[in-house]
Amino acid sequence: MSAPKLTPFHLAIPVVDLPSSRQFYGELLGCPEGRSAEQWVDFNLFGHQVVCHVQEKAGEEKIVGSNPVDGHEVPIPHFGVVLEMEVWKELAEKLKSAGVNFVIEPYLRFEGEPGEQGTMFLLDPSGNAVEFKAFRNIQAELFAK
> Cβ–Cβ contacts within 10 Å for residue 60, how many?
11
Q: Given its phi and psi angles, is residue 36 left (phi above 0), alpha (psi -120 to 50 degrees) or beta? A: beta
Q: Could you give the domains of the chain?
A: 10-141 (3.10.180.10)
- pLDDT the model gives residue 137: 92
Residues of the chain with pLDDT under 50: none
- pLDDT the model gives residue 37: 96
- pLDDT the model gives residue 82: 96
pLDDT, tens only, 107-145:
999 999 999 999 999 999 999 999 999 999 998 898 888
- pLDDT the model gives residue 6: 82
- pLDDT the model gives residue 58: 64
Per DSSP, the three-state class of 88 is helix
Buried b (16+ CB within 10 A) or exposed e, 38-49: eebbbbbbbebe
- pLDDT the model gives residue 4: 72
